[in-house]
Structure 1
Amino acid sequence: MWDNSPFPMPDGAKITGRRGDQYKVSVSMPFDPDGFYGRQCPECSMLFRVNADDYEALPEGLQLWCVYCGHNADHTEFWTDQQRERAMEAARALGAQIVHQGFTRMLRKSRSTARRGQVSISFRNRPPYPRPLPGIDEERLARTRTCAGCEIRYGVFGEHRYCPVCGRLPAATVAFDALQAETARLDALASLHDETKAVLREQGVFTRSWVDAVENVVGVVEALGSSVFHERVTDSEERLRGKGSVFQRLDDMADLFVSAGCPDVRALVGPSTWNRLTRTWAARHVFTHNDGVVDERYLRRVPGARTSLGQRLVISEAECREAIADATALCRALVDLGPSPAP
């Protein structure tokens, strides 16, 4: 199917204007089967998606954010490789016809001079027939998200920290997303075929993943606790002076919030959950700093531990999932903390 412009253009491309020898061409970009429009960061080159209806409703001069690295630029810079190739094919179709037209005009002049014996040119006047534009066939989305701020729907293919329209995501959104990712990783390992599981288990992949999850949930809580404290406590910098990595230390973090007039998160999550969290934090410490070998510090923090001094901790999948659930409860408690009283 071709349009009726001076130069035939393939379906999806149309000449919309001309100024002198410059042409303006509009090229349609198909959405994916889920109704999402591909975007690619010009800085880190990673792909993400934005709902087509939501995207079309955005203002023309939109500054877009890369959901992964936070690069911020005009939305027209976020073409995907396949979209760029589609546009270039339209440009090539127009360019070939402009060149053909130029040769045709030159041929007419040459024929007139050829009759005077000055030059002889042979030219077969067959206009180029534009090829169909390439389609867009990019990776399908597994999950879509909706920004709590601007409500735009988008999809990602990895860990992200930004909304494509709003920019930096709230710390709570990042925290809960990270905890869900840990659960998704465990679920993916559990769904593997038995033969694959056996190979990975023998190589220690499962136990390493469980240890990584324990270490990661501590990092998630640390980041959220720090963000909430800075947001809710007006004199946060003064209170944090000289306290080091206080948000890595569970009871110290709880005491810090209490001293600032906030509720005690230990009471909010309950004693049994807090005891398990204390054990998780102690486990994280020995895995991070002592290759999982139990030291005196661990035994002081976990009274009645089944392991002895010098033994190496072993984490089970059930304990790992429990740690994620407990960390999720703690993150909810942190988010629910009210602001401290005015000094």
Structure 2
Amino acid sequence: MFDETIKALKRLESGKISIPIEEDDKGYLDKQCPAEGCEFLFKVNDEDWHDIFKDEAVWCPMCRHEAPADQWYTIAQVEHSRNEALTMIKGQINRAMRTDALNFNRRQPRGGFLSMSMDVKGGTHRTYVIPAQAAEPMQLEIQCESCNARFAVIGSAFFCPACGFNSVIRTFSDSLRKIRAKKDNQETVRAALIDAVGADDAELTCRSLKETCLSDGVVAFQKYCERLYEPFGTPKMNVFQRLDDGSKLWEGALGVSYDDWLSPDELESLKVLYQKRHLLAHQEGIVDEKYVQRSGDTSYKPGQRIVVSKNDIELFLDLLEKLGRGLAEKCERND
């Protein structure tokens, strides 16, 4: 009686259901980190996914979690595939049951005293799957310097998903870009916070954001220099947080120092900003005699608190970018 339904169930039991995944308008596929606590969304070029990426390992561009290639489907893709598979299964069973009902009704004798018929109601008729649609293209497109794999992210990325390579130059550039975004969006943050928590908390938060730009820049430049310096040995801890010591170290390794790229005025300005960062980190921003002596900044007296302006941050980033670019070019020529 239920021959077609039994056949359909057997086919479903032994078969597989494949759900296509669409690429976006630029030819990129959506991927998501499977690590709990990260779940970073990114995209990979479809051609490179087949030609460059390896089945045994893919890396998260944000946290460098490593997992086989079949574990990088997005949460949205998995949910869509589950729903589509269920819809298709229901549709195939529904169609088989309707065929069984039709065959049963055809075999019933006509004109007799007792007649029987079978009817199937409800259910879905769809027996095909709809591909998982791609999310909107991501603006930041990156090509790995090591394996040439192309991928795209929102915000920033630290590692290549195809080979796990960490680009020191791209990481430094991303760090400075994040600091600049923090500086440029303070008024937007302030306006939102005033509505949410009031003017006092908004002012405290925005001032803190502004002041942490100096600390973020120093740490970014330190990490950048440490990576660039690896071929020359292992420097003392945090040596690149001290401008004079870092400059001397590069002079010994490359034969050039920071004053090869910065004018005397620029170098003095950078030293003042480094000292301001030191005050904020260790003195809550309160000026002492050491600050005046080391920075040469006579605009403050001991006991005052320093002020960090947007112009300070912009100058700071410009000078770090200039040093970073000069060091990268010199290191490349030195290889």
Q: Normalised by the size of structure 2, how large is the TM-score?
A: 0.78
Matched residues in 2 for 1:85 and 1:157: separation? 22
| 1:195-236 alpha-carbon deviations (Å, 9 max, x no partner) | 6597798622433222111111101110011111112x1xx1
In structure 2, what is the equivalent of residue 300 of structure 1? 293
Distance 1:168 1:21, change over 3 A: same
Q: Secondary structure at the match of 2:273?
A: helix
Is residue 77 from structure 1 mapped to residue 71 from structure 2 by the alignment? yes
Matched residues in 1 for 2:229 and 2:125: separation? 65
In structure 2, what is the equivalent of residue 268 of structure 1? 261
In structure 2, what is the equivalent of residue 335 of structure 1? 328
Matched residues in 1 for 2:172 and 2:253: separation? 23
In structure 1, what is the equivalent of residue 19 of structure 2? 27
Match of 1:50 among 20, 44, 48: 44
In structure 2, what is the equivalent of residue 180 of structure 1? 177
| 1:46-92 alpha-carbon deviations (Å, 9 max, x no partner) | 21112334434445636321101101222221001111122212321
Q: Secondary structure at the match of 2:162?
A: coil
Query: Is the contact between residue 61 and residue 160 of structure 2 (CA under 8 Å) also seen in structure 1?
Result: yes
Report the CA distance between 1:276 and its aligned residue: 1.4
Matched residues in 2 for 1:171 and 1:160: separation? 11
Report the CA distance between 1:261 and its aligned residue: 5.1
Counterparts in 2 of 1:1-343, with a 5 A limit? Answer: 21-43=13-35, 44-58=38-52, 61=55, 63-97=57-91, 99-100=93-94, 124-125=119-120, 128-130=124-126, 133=130, 135-136=132-133, 138=135, 141-189=138-186, 192=188, 203-204=202-203, 205-231=205-231, 233=232, 236-237=233-234, 240=235, 243-260=236-253, 262-338=255-331
Please provide the CA RMSD for this pair: 3.7
Q: Which has the higher strand share?
A: 1
More deviation in 179-188 or 307-316?
179-188
Distance 1:336 1:169, change over 3 A: same
Matched residues in 2 for 1:106 and 1:129: separation? 15
Report the CA distance between 1:324 and its aligned residue: 0.6
Q: Secondary structure at the match of 2:261?
A: helix
Matched residues in 2 for 1:193 and 1:253: separation? 35
Query: Is the contact between residue 257 and residue 263 of structure 1 (CA under 8 Å) also seen in structure 2?
Result: yes
Structure 2 unaligned regions, length at least 5: 106-115
| 1:285-310 alpha-carbon deviations (Å, 9 max, x no partner) | 11111111112221122114301111
Q: Secondary structure at the match of 1:218?
A: helix
Q: Amino acid of the residue matched to residue 22 of structure 1?
A: S
Q: Secondary structure at the match of 1:305?
A: coil
Matched residues in 2 for 1:261 and 1:137: separation? 48
| 1:158-179 alpha-carbon deviations (Å, 9 max, x no partner) | 4431011131322121001211
| Percent pairwise identity | 22
More deviation in 144-153 or 35-44?
144-153
Query: Is the contact between residue 95 and residue 125 of structure 2 (CA under 8 Å) also seen in structure 1?
Result: no
Query: Is the contact between residue 287 and residue 304 of structure 2 (CA under 8 Å) also seen in structure 1?
Result: yes
Q: Amino acid of the residue matched to residue 255 of structure 1?
A: K
Report the CA distance between 1:318 and its aligned residue: 0.9
Distance 1:338 1:98, change over 3 A: closer
Q: Which has the higher helix share?
A: 2
Structure 1 unaligned regions, length at least 5: 1-5, 8-17, 112-120
Q: Amino acid of the residue matched to residue 85 of structure 2?
A: A
| 1:116-148 alpha-carbon deviations (Å, 9 max, x no partner) | xxxxx9963357412863753646524323333
Distance 1:253 1:59, change over 3 A: closer
Q: Secondary structure at the match of 2:15?
A: strand
Q: Normalised by the size of structure 1, how large is the TM-score?
A: 0.76
Query: Is the contact between residue 21 and residue 134 of structure 2 (CA under 8 Å) also seen in structure 1?
Result: no
Distance 1:262 1:62, change over 3 A: farther
Query: Is the contact between residue 260 and residue 340 of structure 1 (CA under 8 Å) also seen in structure 2?
Result: no
Distance 1:63 1:189, change over 3 A: same
Distance 1:52 1:201, change over 3 A: farther
Q: Amino acid of the residue matched to residue 152 of structure 1?
A: A
